[in-house]
Structure 1
Amino acid sequence: QSFFSILTGDDSLRSRPMDRIIEPLRLMGADIYGRSNNSRAPIAIIGQSLKPISYLTPVASAQVKTALLFAAMYAEGKSEITENRQSRDHTERFFEYLSIDFQRTEAGGGKVKISLSNQGNYKARDIIVAGDISSAAYFIAAGLLVKGSEITIVDVGLNPTRIGILEVLQNMGTEIEVLEQKVLANEPVGTLFIKSQALAATEIGGAIIPRLIDELPIIAVLATQAEGRTIVKDAAELRVKETDRITYLVSELRKMGAKIEGQADGFIIDGPTSLRGAVVDSHGDHRLAMSLAIAGLIAKGETIIQNAECISISYPQFEATLKRIIEQAQI
């Protein structure tokens, strides 16, 4: 684009690595500068024409993939973006919905390649956005953990690349009913019915990790109540989210009495454990804050979450929704 831009964000966003997207965009001819040797925001961008790229992403990241595909839409030629593993495919479904031509092929060894060329003008369409399963996950967990609970969540997105948490919960012995399935804007959607039930420990790793990376904090809370040892591995990406999620998930759940050990690429939890109320800290991480809130529902005594205002980053209505559910259930 023919203008100058500066992109920045809050403290957590400015601490996240941006070189994973800056480097490939520079290979496309983008003129980009950032802090810390071009690895952190704020980022300054001098708009200019882009050239196509053939690029293998170092991690399976739908955010990096999407940024490069959007850039490829305006590059002068055909670009090829390859991932080591399939990441969330909302962008590909979005392209299909808008009739944007692209090719998706298996590249061997689990790799997936997407090819896309500049197609000039793009036609707009109305879009209905399904409910976010990452946000629904906290209330799924609440329904499973709080004895006597029954919760119905309407119109939740059930994209196969996003429902890793439902697969894990099935492996943990739960039964969640999926009702009224339909398709909205090329995305599968359904209503979930959840009721409280016993949990069994499980092992999580490998190809499923990109499909539930954001749900791992609330899965950790669920694991504290599961019978046996739950192991999460191959999730080192947790260390470069809004915070080092492994470090702070371990420290805060331990304050509540959880038996959790951090690993380089995940964590180990032994359960079930009776949690106790405590003063905990979100460390500015919205997903950690919401997970601790659900843990507080089953803890004995009062739980106080410091720096909980960060929840508004992804779910401004979380507190009001949780309060309404508690009032209805008369917990």
Structure 2
Amino acid sequence: MNNVKIVPSTLNGEITIPPSKSMSHRAIICASFSEGISEIHNIALSDDIIATLDAMKSIGVEILDIQQDTSTGTNKVIVRGTRNFEVKNEIIDCKESGSTIRFLIPIVTLTNDKITVTGRGRLVERPLDTYYNIFDKQQLKYTNNNGKLPLTLEGKIQSGIFEIEGDVSSQFITGLLFTLPVLDEDSKIIITTELESKGYVDLTIDILQKFGIEIINNNYREFIIKGNQTYKSRDYKVEGDYSQAAFWIVAGTLVGGIKCKDLDISSLQGDKAVIDIVREMGGNISEYEDGIEVKASKTKGVVIDASQCPDIIPVLSVLASLSEGTTKIINGKRLRIKESDRLTSTATELNKLGADIEELEDGLIIKGKDKLKGGVTVDSWNDHRIAMALGIASIKCEESIVITNSNSVTKSYPNFWDDFKKLGGNIDEWSMGK
């Protein structure tokens, strides 16, 4: 169990934002479908990305090399894809990566062989009913542990019409969008309720197009997928991750003077909404060709709709806790089925630091304060975004804090604590063993 003790200090300087985890998953999978060799540049080997790389190797994709760029600390992944997946490992461990398992499940059926997917932590319990309903309709053989992982599949998904609820997870839609174009016949995905996290679907459609696959999007109500399409190998560079930049954007707003480099200002990432939300709260953010600069600002409470950007809610709750007036987080029910129940974990841990947060069924009511007290031990709930949000909260505490399970950041941002220190953070790390 790793822990950090943080003494409150001002953060300032420049930080290179790590590559987008969402886009890294997608690029690796598209390259895996492409005959020939693709080079994927600017990859961070977080736990989730390693899970996807290992998963693709398990169905016959060759990861020819992983080369580190010493100037950036990121990696180039060289992939030889295939049109004909085959089972190389009958059990695929998706670790704690929700993206990996939800993207992977329809893909592994293309092997038309028996295969088991499993995971760890809360991933074991995260819902997969959308896929179970499809399997029941198509009479695919599958078994699970009372609806939980491990899931054993046998048989190949068929083209056709797929009715998907839009307020569960866009990851199911993405998994189908990867898989359906290579089937012989045309398919259609019909969204039966308002689609949440549209930005993630936009990312999928955009990267599919870059790898030669066309998807017709009819106003997010239905997606038309022609069959018998072919992925084309290519070189691809992953852009910086707005969901990770959000932590430094909030830190800069609270204490000032942080420049976030390697961000695409024209990005389709849904979490780019952090810029508009922080500006609405009063934040001073300037845009440059390769990123943004954030200056200290007096902020006020607003209403934040979590439906399109759930991953940035924990750190926005930190900013709300230190903003004048009241902030309301609405439409946040899906936050309950993340790595932790993020409505509960966010409210519980920030309240320990002295925040004033009321938890609702699908949101939070946050009454802002000038400072947080600190002087306590808080826990990450083994959730990377909670750990990082608490780290940012520490800079506005009156006393030092201890965060337990702080190494949960390796799930998405392995160098987070190093970057925190580079910007001036005062951290002591230690391990208490198992």
Q: What residue is the counterpart of 1:55 in the other structure?
A: 163
Return the alpha-carbon distance in structure 2 between the equivalents of residues 305 and 90 of structure 1: 33
One-letter amino acid matched to 2:262? D
Q: What residue is the counterpart of 1:186 in the other structure?
A: none
Return the alpha-carbon distance in structure 1 between the equivalents of residues 384 and 246 of structure 2: 13
1:284 alignment partner, one of 359, 373, 382: 382
Return the alpha-carbon distance in structure 2 between the equivalents of residues 134 and 7 of structure 1: 27
Measured after TM superposition, the shift of residue 27 of structure 1 is 3.5
Measured after TM superposition, the shift of residue 58 of structure 1 is 4.1
Residue 21 (1) aligns with residue 131 (2): yes
Q: What residue is the counterpart of 2:122 in the other structure?
A: 12
Measured after TM superposition, the shift of residue 56 of structure 1 is 3.0
Measured after TM superposition, the shift of residue 105 of structure 1 is 0.9
Greater Cα shift, 25-34 or 44-53: 25-34
Residue 92 (1) aligns with residue 201 (2): no
Return the alpha-carbon distance in structure 2 between the equivalents of residues 70 and 64 of structure 1: 10
Q: What residue is the counterpart of 2:257 in the other structure?
A: 150
1:133 alignment partner, one of 214, 220, 242: 242
Q: What residue is the counterpart of 1:64 in the other structure?
A: 172
Q: What residue is the counterpart of 2:102 in the other structure?
A: none
Q: What residue is the counterpart of 1:223 in the other structure?
A: 320
Partner SS, residue 99 of structure 1: coil
Measured after TM superposition, the shift of residue 287 of structure 1 is 0.7
Contact 1:156 1:192 in 2 (8 A): yes
Q: Deviation string for 1:199-233 (max 9, x for gaps)?
A: 1110122xxx3432100000000001111000011
Contact 1:30 1:50 in 2 (8 A): no
Return the alpha-carbon distance in structure 1 between the equivalents of residues 409 and 296 of structure 2: 25
Residue 159 (1) aligns with residue 268 (2): yes
Return the alpha-carbon distance in structure 2 between the equivalents of residues 103 and 192 of structure 1: 33
Residue 168 (1) aligns with residue 168 (2): no
Change (3 A) 1:31 1:117: farther
One-letter amino acid matched to 1:218? V
Residue 322 (1) aligns with residue 416 (2): no
One-letter amino acid matched to 1:227? E
Measured after TM superposition, the shift of residue 281 of structure 1 is 0.8
1:118 alignment partner, one of 210, 227, 230: 227
Change (3 A) 1:150 1:30: farther
TM-score normalised by L of structure 1: 0.87
One-letter amino acid matched to 2:126? R
Return the alpha-carbon distance in structure 2 between the equivalents of residues 264 and 52 of structure 1: 36
Q: What residue is the counterpart of 2:354 in the other structure?
A: 257
Q: How does 1:235-246 map to 2 (within 5 A)?
A: 235-246=332-343
Q: What residue is the counterpart of 1:309 in the other structure?
A: 407
One-letter amino acid matched to 2:121? D
Residue 104 (1) aligns with residue 217 (2): yes
Change (3 A) 1:34 1:80: same
Q: What residue is the counterpart of 1:275 in the other structure?
A: 372
Change (3 A) 1:13 1:80: same
Return the alpha-carbon distance in structure 2 between the equivalents of residues 49 and 291 of structure 1: 40
Measured after TM superposition, the shift of residue 29 of structure 1 is 4.9
Return the alpha-carbon distance in structure 1 between the equivalents of residues 263 and 134 of structure 2: 33
Contact 1:34 1:41 in 2 (8 A): yes
Return the alpha-carbon distance in structure 2 between the equivalents of residues 179 and 265 of structure 1: 36
One-letter amino acid matched to 2:341? D
Q: Deviation string for 1:158-187 (max 9, x for gaps)?
A: 32633221121121011211111xxxxxxx
Contact 2:213 2:229 in 1 (8 A): no
Q: How does 1:64-83 map to 2 (within 5 A)?
A: 64-83=172-191
Residue 43 (1) aligns with residue 151 (2): yes
RMSD: 2.0
Change (3 A) 1:90 1:26: farther
How many positions carry a matched residue from both structures?
308
Return the alpha-carbon distance in structure 1 between the equivalents of residues 425 and 309 of structure 2: 30
One-letter amino acid matched to 1:260? I
Return the alpha-carbon distance in structure 1 between the equivalents of residues 180 and 416 of structure 2: 36
Change (3 A) 1:160 1:313: closer
Return the alpha-carbon distance in structure 1 between the equivalents of residues 140 and 229 of structure 2: 19
Measured after TM superposition, the shift of residue 14 of structure 1 is 1.3
Measured after TM superposition, the shift of residue 247 of structure 1 is 1.1
Structure 1: gaps spanning 5 or more residues: 181-189
